[in-house]
Structure 1
């Protein structure tokens, strides 16, 4: 099969990715072989490929096939697989597996499992013609969704949904969303569905236009210090959700939220001092559990949310990543096979 391999993390300009013919993966009894139809391109792929996460042990093996938001058709099933069959259209998200035994797994928070496997980081991912998935971590794709429409739901979709769930309840609340890219444009939609009044903040005017089209009531240039100061003085922001990868923006979000409000961080951030007497609550968020993934698919199938994307071929994966690095991808890039 054709696959994009990362052999040594380094800047994209040094061409760390190679297109190569490799053997089909072998299945274990609880796994399925999926012929990939589409795979989203995520900024976390870029971080791993360029070596930003080496100190965190990511990737955990080399060479590795990146990619963790995958849709395809089952070609073969292992001997113990009972809930899926050949020909089923399925999706695979970053959470490739978890132990099933720890406190987190037993309470529906398997994304926090210390023994979890991550698609495209600890096991081979979707930048390939075929990928292996575990039965318990696969999702049937509704007939109404194409592969390109569905693939981004498996990372930006579930990540945004889980963040908004953590921010809630949001009915009648004013919610500021920082960063309106692949995840942020999904968060705008989920926040609106939850009944929030959404303020979108971005430095990219095209991203702000998308946010407006998706229902944001107010769209603010994150570089406009006067607008931001006015927003702060109003003192009516109940919650901020941050997807912009900037320590300064995370700090800005904390300062904008009113006393007693919430800040949900979907990015790593170094936080400075802030007043504890205001009783603000700061929460982290990462992907989401399986039950929430099913809800994301249901909402998309009903036409209540959509992922905005542009497509590239598998061979164009390095170019898609370069465009992402340069800020040229409008919302999400998707590789099609």
Structure 2
């Protein structure tokens, strides 16, 4: 085992232009009871990492290693952890642990557990050569897929799937997607496979072209009204100003799900225009492991096209800057 490892830490949270990420040399972590030590093969870059680096998401510990879309190989077991075996490929996702005994965990809503912890926020994540994960929160992954295309499934896919469920899209319904990054381009494909008509609203011309390539019925600007009323919508862009137009685009009984962990302030809503006729506004909070397993099974049955922009490990700060400036097509992925 290496004596040390290369990693990136959030040294000074602030605007990405101030370079809040810092390259560091850290000890290889030791897996605790019930944990696995995983050597990282790839780690996708999530907008949550950007929120943490810029301070929108208050750091829970100093000099945290971000990253929670990790593909890697089990290299050691902590006390009491016996599986998956050494060499197994696993995924490390955002949800790291829950108490397992509160009323939320007991009713199957472990994503709402008050004692939940998160990879790359409460514990060091995948912007490193090694990461630890409780064995019960690791996902078994196939060996015959590239790590680069598997990594975005671990958050962009899983959280996006949770958002799609929360949006209550009816069979054959009309889905609006606001923002078209890593998560959105995966969920558009899931919805299309399920028979939905998908309309994409995003400020990026490149993203609009990708949406149409993937089978979207239409792709317009972020503020443009869709060409038909929507049965459901998902807001992936962390822009509260988009909530009113997204609600106004809903048909009677439609639902808007807000997928991000951070959102700028929502403007004042007009009850009759935005909420009346039983329109619903919902948040999305993390995911359950059942969500993760269901999405990964669906992705194995209907493999999505995963658009990625690879970055060498040493360019993690540039990857976050490109994400902030909408210069990434699909998902940015660090390849150590």
Give the TM interval when normalised to the shorter protein.
Answer: over 0.9
Match of 1:266 in 2: 259
Match of 1:329 in 2: 328
Displacement of 1:254: 0.5
1:49-128 matched pairs, under 5 angstroms = 49-53=53-57, 58-128=58-128
Counterpart contact for 1:84–1:135, Cα < 8 Å: yes
Residue from 35, 54, 58 that aligns with 2:39:
35
Match of 1:134 in 2: 134
List runs of 5+ in structure 2 lacking aligned partners: none
Match of 1:299 in 2: 298
Match of 1:6 in 2: 10
1:197-208 matched pairs, under 5 angstroms = 197-208=197-208
Counterpart contact for 1:192–1:198, Cα < 8 Å: yes
Counterpart contact for 2:188–2:216, Cα < 8 Å: yes
- Secondary structure of residue in 2 paired with 1:22: strand
Give me the whole-angstrom Cα distance separating, in 2, the residues matched to 1:159 and 1:306. 17
Displacement of 1:173: 1.0
- Secondary structure of residue in 1 paired with 2:304: coil
Displacement of 1:20: 1.8
1:222-301 matched pairs, under 5 angstroms = 222-224=222-224, 228=225, 231=227, 236-267=229-260, 268=263, 269-273=265-269, 274-275=271-272, 276-301=275-300
Give me the whole-angstrom Cα distance separating, in 2, the residues matched to 1:194 and 1:144. 25
Cα distance change, pair 221–13 in 1 and its aligned pair in 2 (3 A) = closer
TM norm structure 1: 0.92
Residue from 16, 22, 43 that aligns with 2:20:
16
CA deviations on 1:222-260 (whole Å, 9 max, x unpaired) are 344xxx2x74xx5x3211111122222111000110122
Match of 1:195 in 2: 195
Match of 2:308 in 1: 309
Displacement of 1:25: 1.1
Residues 1:159 and 2:155 aligned together = no
Match of 1:179 in 2: 179
Aligned CA RMSD, in angstroms, stands at 1.6
Runs of 4+ in 1 over 6 A off after TM superposition: none
TM norm structure 2: 0.92
- Secondary structure of residue in 1 paired with 2:182: coil
Displacement of 1:110: 1.4
Counterpart contact for 1:300–1:306, Cα < 8 Å: no
Displacement of 1:169: 4.4
- Secondary structure of residue in 1 paired with 2:286: coil
Give me the whole-angstrom Cα distance separating, in 2, the residues matched to 1:144 and 1:320. 26
Counterpart contact for 1:155–1:287, Cα < 8 Å: no
